Amino acid sequence: MAWPWLTCTELILYISCLLPFLYYLFNIYFICPLSPNWPLVGMLPSLLSNAYRNKIHEWSTKLLQLSNGNFYFRGPWLSGMTLFVTADPANVHHIYTQNFQNYPKGEEYAEIFEIVGQSILTTDGDSWRFHREKLLLAMSRNWYRTFIAKMTQEKIENSILPFLSDVVEQSLKVVDLQDMLTRLSFDMTCILTFGTDPGSLSMEFPAVPFAQASDDATATIFFRLSRPLAWWKLLRFFRIGPEKKYGAAKVVIDRFIADAIKNRKWEMIEGKHVCPDLLYSYLCDENIPNSHEFLRDSVLSFLAAGRETVSTSLCWFFWALSQNKQIEEKIMHELNFIRHNTTPKGMVIFDPEELENLVYFKAAHLETLRLFPSLPFSFSSVKEPDLLPSGSIVTPGMKIITSAYAIGRMQKLWGKDCMDFKPERWISEKGTLLHVPSYKFVAFSTGPRSCVGKSIALTQMKMVAAAMLYNYRFELVEGHVVEPILSIVLHMKNGLMMRVGKRT
């Protein structure tokens, strides 16, 4: 019997209109409450909401934990924003190694990351192989590796330790460790790239236009990745919002790189003494194009990767130790039993060969990178339809996102204590470092695209961290909140405010 105020026809129409709403509200929402797939707009509201609240990393990790490590994200209809997000090592191994040719970076990725041009980070096929071959050749030379160790020691002795000494002598004895380490990493990477020390790490904290421009560019890249293609392209066309800031940042970056290349070429023509840096190696290689575009893209990608990896990892390393003092004591115990060098000012520095033998110290760095990978996400496209080991199907036009941040937090991979900072998980019963496959520990990527500068980054991280720890104590300022910022790099949103004291 129909309700007295509705005819039978009206009731049927009412129910017919209500059913689609009930379907999405009860079926879609309860299947995936963290990211409901709404009509027209898809899952975009959930993404934007968590981006606004700066919860992207926690949200995406929880999604992957609830969906057994694999998740399809569907954007607005007809937007082309269909993503397959994975934290499954079997899928990672398949995508990045076993069927590598089917998962190029793709044209859209290159357009989003246009700031680094046609470099090793954005190219595919023969162009990518050429970039990688030349970079590996330059970095494998013995004189370049000697140059890295010598430069890092000199920078520690003449820059970072005197800087911390000045901080201790101040009344507040507080420093933003993130700002300090980012400046240090920028200086060191500039020396390795151009042979020039910009001297950005000093008590005056001078403005570094290139560093600010790099931060603006990476923030815009994340904005592009989290929005439909047409959306950010429209902003770019009108040069408004983050795209306006990106345009200004690109001008600063291009000018900085152009000046560095010009100065190096002039020094070589004049026969002046030059450092055996990356740019020098490229200019001496007759098989490398001498065009400004090739040199600009190559050195910029190296500079950007070096600056971000070392500083970001060191920040999270010191924050983790501030929360786990017993781990810091174990590291100090190891450092006390190896040979060290004393500077004229009474400071202690270490040789990289000595640090290489410290198992627990290295395990602590690996544990840091497990929980806090410098690049929390990596991206690929799909060339041909494929069935992944998880049973998931991917098709052309779909984007693949691998979450290194979530992989390090998967209980089925690392155990119930996966959220704990525990270097012991990397050490065998015999006291040696355990081997963990790179597709399970993806902080330096995996497969043919694995990070070329991994050994350089780890060497610099250990040398800087050892000298800082042995000479000074660091404690997190009371009430200071530490959380990741919304970016493609795992920077800290509020910096890392630390109290610094001389270690006795």
Within 8 A by CB and 6+ apart from 251, the residues are none
Do residues 264 and 281 touch, judged by C-beta distance below 8 A?
Answer: no
Q: Using DSSP, state whether 476 is helix, strand or coil.
A: strand
Distance from C-alpha of 75 to C-alpha of 78, rounded to nearest angstrom? 8
Residue type at 458 in one-letter notation: L
- The Cβ of residue 427 has, within 10 Å, a number of other Cβ atoms equal to 17
- The Cβ of residue 390 has, within 10 Å, a number of other Cβ atoms equal to 15
Q: Looking at 271-358, list the stretches that DSSP marks H as alpha helix, in order from N- to C-terminal side.
A: 278-284, 292-323, 325-335, 352-355
- Rounding to the nearest 10 degrees, give the CA dihedral for residues 472, 473, 476, 482: 60
Tokens representing residue 428 in the block: 């065998």
Look up residue 477 and give its DSSP letter. P
Residue type at 147 in one-letter notation: F
Do residues 488 and 377 touch, judged by C-beta distance below 8 A?
Answer: yes
Residue type at 153 in one-letter notation: Q
Q: Read off φ and ψ for residue 82, nearest 5 degrees.
A: -110, 120
Distance from C-alpha of 42 to C-alpha of 30, rounded to nearest angstrom? 15
> Which among 24, 17, 63, 22 is positioned nearest to 41, based on CA atoms?
24
- Annotation-wise, does 451 bind a ligand? yes
Which amino acids are annotated as binding site for heme, given as ranges?
451
Which amino acids are annotated as binding site, given as ranges?
451
